């Protein structure tokens, strides 16, 4: 599905008179190709980055929306909570997908330039592989800065807010399940209660029935308590945060099922806890700031910090990798290098994941960390660049770049 969307996205890019524009760049003496061509490539790449990022973001958000919707149906989240949680997920998703989006955009744009023979016009104008690598690095600078902002600043803040909202939503999950004519489970799963009618903003309950298992000594026969009342009020304890159903003028029955020695008690007021205040959620590393991770200094903290930095470092490295991978023959088409690029990305990310686990488990020291994976990718770039374009031509173009 995603690959088909890439096809439609690339087809929508402006291609009219591209060869004619390239020829004008070559033959117009009043314009400098060294200035026009980088802008042309940068505009094409950044436009593709925006389109690919939007596509990937839509796929990830829709998948997350389905998961949240399933949890909302079970009463864990409210409808408003789903929207807020999706918005808080956007920075993390965008920061993680931008390196891939930039690499795919370069592969798509370069594939089109080679197919339409514009790239050969650029080569004849003095723009060679060394200059192309410099142009790509320049394009990756603003994208890398944006990724750094999302990963190091916005991402931890949004993760902290996400966990807080999830805790608050789950704390009131049982209350959202209270509805007229429906049985609801009590806190701890030790009983159920039934409400015939709700009124006054769902705070006042009418014709309430409660059945629960009473606390007892180990080994004794379980006793059941049944409570019924005509009116009750939903209340929250200000000190503990627990929710109670406070019943007025009701009856309480206690006994062992199957036996006739039930105890009947009439009461003026009786409270039953229906929802306990959720325990304070454990702070997750995804929500900690980078400075705090550095100060904590544990293996898992170092692994999380290096993972964030790895996402940032991967942005220019993957962009450089796309330069040799993007070189295609005219008959191959503009999508010929997409699959090799995706394969290289998958291998790279999986190696980062393995290195992260090794750091968390203490198998490798923190100073080794995830850095060796980046060195492998950099070595691959240094091998592929001259391999695809030739050493002599590459050295010449770097001197004139």
pLDDT at 254 over 80: yes
Residue 140 to residue 401: CA distance in whole angstroms: 17
In this prediction, residue 400 has a pLDDT band, given cuts at 50, 70 and 90, of: very low
| Interior angle at CA 53, CA 51 and CA 59, nearest 5 | 105
Return d(Cα 38, Cα 27) in angstroms, integer: 17
Instruction: Please say whether the beta carbons of 244 and 273 come within 8 A.
Output: yes
Domain ranges (residues) in the chain? 2-171+283-400, 177-275
Q: How far apart are the first and last CA of the chain?
A: 40
Rounded to whole angstroms, the Cα distance separating 170 from 126 reads: 62
30 pLDDT band, cuts 50/70/90, is very low
Which has the minimum average pLDDT: 47-61, 138-152, 239-253, 372-386? 239-253
pLDDT of residue 79: 67
Of 21 and 210, more confident: 210
Instruction: Give the model's pLDDT for residue 38.
Output: 84
Which of 193-197, 244-248, 297-301, 305-309 has maximum average pLDDT? 305-309
Question: Hey, is 360 helix, strand or coil?
Answer: helix
Q: What is the pLDDT of residue 32?
A: 58
| pLDDT (tens digit per residue) in 328-385 | 776 666 666 788 889 999 999 999 999 999 998 888 888 888 999 999 999 998 888 7
Q: What is the DSSP string of 184-249?
A: EEPGGGSEEEEEEEEETTTTEEEEEEEEEEPP--TTSPP-EEEEEEEEEEEEE-TTT--EEEEEEE
94-103, pLDDT tens digit by residue?
A: 999 999 999 9
Instruction: Name which of 148, 175, 85 is nearest 310 in CA terms.
Output: 148
**For 181-214, how does the pLDDT look when each residue is reduced to its tens digit (9 = 90+)?**
777 776 566 677 788 777 755 567 888 888 877 7
The whole-number pLDDT of residue 394 equals 47
What's this model's pTM, rounded to 2 decimal places?
Answer: 0.71
pLDDT at position 251 is 84
Distance CA 336, CA 327 (A): 9
Question: Would the pLDDT of 142 be above 90?
Answer: yes
Mean pLDDT of 302-310: 91
């Amino acid at each position: 599905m995603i690959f088909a969307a890439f096809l439609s996205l690339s087809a929508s890019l402006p291609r009219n008179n591209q060869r004619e524009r390239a020829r004008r760049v070559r033959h117009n003496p009043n314009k400098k190709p060294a200035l026009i061509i980088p802008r042309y490539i940068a505009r094409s790449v950044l436009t593709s980055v925006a389109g690919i990022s939007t596509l990937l973001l839509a796929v990830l958000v829709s998948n997350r929306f389905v998961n949240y919707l399933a949890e909302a149906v079970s009463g864990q989240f409210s409808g408003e909570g789903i929207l807020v949680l999706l918005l808080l997920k956007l920075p993390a998703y965008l920061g993680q997908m931008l390196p891939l989006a930039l690499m795919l955009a370069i592969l798509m744009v370069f594939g089109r330039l080679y197919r339409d023979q514009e790239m050969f016009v650029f080569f004849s104008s003095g723009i060679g592989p060394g200059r192309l690598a410099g142009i790509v690095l320049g394009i990756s600078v603003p994208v890398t800065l944006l990724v750094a902002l999302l990963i190091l600043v916005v991402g931890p803040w949004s993760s902290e807010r996400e966990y807080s909202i999830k805790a608050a939503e789950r704390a009131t999950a049982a209350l959202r399940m209270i509805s007229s004519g429906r049985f609801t489970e009590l806190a701890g799963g030790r009983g159920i209660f039934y409400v015939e009618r709700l009124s006054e903003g769902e705070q006042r309950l009418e014709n309430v029935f409660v059945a629960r298992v009473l606390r007892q000594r180990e080994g004794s026969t379980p006793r059941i308590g049944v409570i019924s009342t005509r009116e009750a009020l939903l209340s929250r304890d200000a000190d503990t945060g627990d929710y109670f159903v406070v019943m007025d003028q009701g009856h309480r029955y206690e006994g062992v099922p199957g036996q006739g020695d039930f105890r009947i008690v009439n009461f003026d007021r009786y409270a039953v806890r229906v929802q306990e205040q959720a325990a304070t959620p454990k702070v997750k590393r995804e929500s900690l700031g980078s400075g705090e991770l550095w100060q904590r200094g544990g293996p898992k903290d170092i692994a999380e910090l290096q993972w964030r930095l790895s996402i940032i470092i991967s942005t220019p490295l993957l962009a450089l990798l796309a330069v040799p991978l993007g070189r295609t023959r005219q008959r191959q088409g503009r999508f010929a290098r997409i699959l090799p690029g995706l394969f290289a990305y998958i291998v790279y990310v999986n190696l980062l994941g393995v290195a992260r686990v090794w750091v968390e488990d203490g198998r490798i020291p923190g100073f080794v960390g995830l850095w060796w994976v980046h060195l492998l990718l950099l070595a691959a770039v240094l091998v592929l660049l001259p391999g695809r374009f030739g050493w002599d031509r590459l050295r010449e173009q770097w001197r004139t770049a």
